[in-house]
Amino acid sequence: MRHVLLIAVLSACSAAKSPASPAHAAQPPAQPSETLWDSGTYITVEKDVVLPGIEETFEIYRRPDGYRIAVKYKRPAPTGELSDGEVTMFTDDQFSPQQGKMVSTIHLADGGTMVTQSKIQRESDGRLTTEVITYDGKTETAGSKQPNAWYIGGSLTTFLVALCHADASVTAPLVYPDKATSLAPPKPLPVDGTTRTVTSRSLIYEASRREVIAACEGDKLAGEVVRGAMIVRSGDLVLARALASAFR
């Protein structure tokens, strides 16, 4: 903190001189610098048709200690009502979560809302812990039993950037909560009519055999395949067709 010595200036004709007390100018703590690393909006495509009311807008910022991910999304809730939410996640430089928070809102037909808040935290021993406060005020907590590399099991596409950023030596990441997985190396994914260099990466959960397929351009996430639907960036129907051809 800078220390600034302030000295009272007295008139030359003044008979008495009283030195002023030193004052310390308070400065706000320096904030880590950030630069925009990637941004866009993911949409959902089925049979070459963009599904209405579903989108996920994201920004990823590079920081000296990793990344900050900011997401805003909207989609129908399982019960049919409109839902939306906001997420902020801080990660290390391998997209491993350090801390984050999420607020989800379901908009009811009668004009009311149901708001759920959740947060994730990496503890000093490397474990991940979560806390969820449901719309009716109940608190649910959980945690991994050992350090976990990624948090990608939810409904957000953006977090799958971890698959694209990981190099080929990463083959068995532990995914929250304590899920053993196998990660295949990148495979070329032809996109007809373009010169784009796109690869796919497949992650399989060992116990359930659930498969997650990410489409990557370099170390950035271009889209994913989920439950028969193609999720791609807005306007990228050509990639949706390539994913459908390769994985449907």
Going from N- to C-terminal start, the domains of the chain cover 35-247
* pLDDT value of residue 55: 97
158: enclosing H helix or E strand = none
* pLDDT value of residue 4: 39
165: enclosing H helix or E strand = helix 161-165
Q: Could you tell me which of 51, 75, 46 has the C-alpha nearest to residue 229?
A: 46
* pLDDT value of residue 3: 41
Q: Note the pTM of the prediction, 2 decimals.
A: 0.85
pLDDT averaged per 10 residues, the chain (length 248)? 37 42 56 90 96 97 98 93 96 97 96 96 97 97 97 90 95 97 97 96 96 97 93 97 94
183: enclosing H helix or E strand = strand 179-183
* pLDDT value of residue 244: 96
* pLDDT value of residue 154: 77
* pLDDT value of residue 155: 87
Tokens 């049979």 belong to residue = 47
